[in-house]
Chains A and B, each alone.
Chain A
Amino acid sequence: DAKTTQPPSMDCAEGRAANLPCNHSTISGNEYVYWYRQIHSQGPQYIIHGLKNNETNEMASLIITEDRKSSTLILPHATLRDTAVYYCIVRVDTSGGSNYKLTFGKGTLLTVNP
């Protein structure tokens, strides 16, 4: 799986958009970009994933650059409950396969301030 690079920490004001960057310059054509977050003392929680098109769900938006070497997770209106470590992960998804291993880095600690 390709390696990712994320800033160790970021701050955001409550109610503002939080934009979390991730570099994955060695990503392969068949690797997806996944985002998970981990609130203190809880298990990681899936947020969103994408291959090359931008994606949006009820939690966040994912913007992937055209060359796929970087992406940005956007939380449109951050709340105090969004304070967590955010992990950007790239991995191959094979339908019918068994390769669901996730390789976590240290992630970005996002602190949402009142």
Chain B
Amino acid sequence: DAGVTQSPTHLIKTRGQQVTLRCSPKSGHDTVSWYQQALGQGPQFIFQYYEEEERQRGNFPDRFSGHQFPNYSSELNVNALLLGDSALYLCASSLERGLGHLFFGQGTRLTVV
């Protein structure tokens, strides 16, 4: 079992550009959540996808958007990048039905210059 996989592992973008990050959930998981972790802080919830719909959203602007595909994989898109968007972006998967915990990927380190 490959667990949760994210790509790319590192990325450098210029302010104002757009970026797409990708996530494949753990086998058998149907729910994907995205978190942003700034340096020295705990992860902050961005949003969660289940059945290809955004189910919950944290306090992030509309520049942050996502998508979930029929195979449960997911993308996080960020438009009009700001320097403050530099962070580790974490994807986590879980089962929608029943109690459970999240499995996190290794993250994508985004640097905006």
Contacts and interface: CB of A to CB of B under 8 A. Distances in A.
A93 interface: yes
Interface in B29-68: 31, 33, 35, 40-45, 48, 50, 55-56, 58
B45 A103 contact: yes
Given A43-B107, A107-B42, A100 B31 contact: yes
A104 B104 contact: no
A104 B97 CA distance: 23
A43 B37 CA distance: 10
Contacts of A41: 106
A104 B102 CA distance: 13
The 5 closest A-B pairs by CB, nearest first: A104-B42, A43-B104, A46-B101, A98-B55, A44-B104
10 contacts: A43-B92, A85-B42, A95-B99, A96-B96, A101-B48, A101-B58, A102-B35, A102-B102, A104-B43, A107-B42
